[in-house]
Amino acid sequence: MTPTPFGPAYTLQTARTLLRCWSPADAARALRAIDASLDHLRPWLDWARHYPISVEQQAAVLRRFRGSFDLGQDFTYAVFDRGGTEVLGGCGLHPRVGEGGREIGYWIAAQHAGQGLATEVAAALVRVAFELDGLRRVEIHCDPLNVPSAAVARKLGFTHEGTLRQRLQAADGSWRDVMLWTLLAEDYRASPAAASDLEAFDVLGQKLL
């Protein structure tokens, strides 16, 4: 009997990328991408302040990501080139915004920035959120000064609900504002994300989308 496909989506294929659940074996490749991008990432991502770290420490980080994924608690993906050899970045669908919602996070390595990959990856996660997970709401949070990140939300049809003042503390101790962007299930089909190129597969390799 052929197994019935079931979620969550462990592997996603877009036009230019392969997204899959992180494995501890990805530690060295992940570090190469992160270490080469620290100046690019630190202004916006709190976790980047804790780098550089060792390969062993990075493997431990990825073990936690994998454990949370397998337990259905949080869904953090590696972003690879289509061949699955080079780490281009990372992304995730995070259930930290309340019942029926997910927050999309994403980062792209410095050498691959400015090519539309963040938009492509975020669109894939939007499709997973609404078509597979049956969510009511997807959010993107970003610093108002992070113009490329805000552009991703805008391109995918998200609505700017407002800007929360002095909500996050930056590495230099200053307090940063946070823009809140949302896309609701009833608006999803009219969004550019709904037409994005995507194939999704479960942990057994059975096709979900």
Q: Does 71 fall in a domain?
A: yes
CA 54 centroid distance within chain: 23
Q: Does 68 fall in a domain?
A: yes
Strand partners, 79: 19, 89
Full domain range(s) for residue 132: 11-139+195-201
Any idea what the CATH number is for the domain that residue 36 is in? 3.40.630.30
Number of structural domains found in the chain = 1
pLDDT of residue 178: 95
Say which residues have a Cβ less than 8 Å from residue 69's Cβ, sequence separation at least 6.
Answer: 8, 10, 21, 22, 75, 76
Q: Does 111 fall in a domain?
A: yes
pTM of the complete model: 0.94
Would you say 4 and 120 are in contact if contact means Cβ atoms under 8 Å apart? no
The per-residue pLDDT for range 4-30, each reduced to its tens digit, is 566 799 999 999 999 999 999 999 999
Q: Does 157 fall in a domain?
A: no
Q: Does 56 fall in a domain?
A: yes
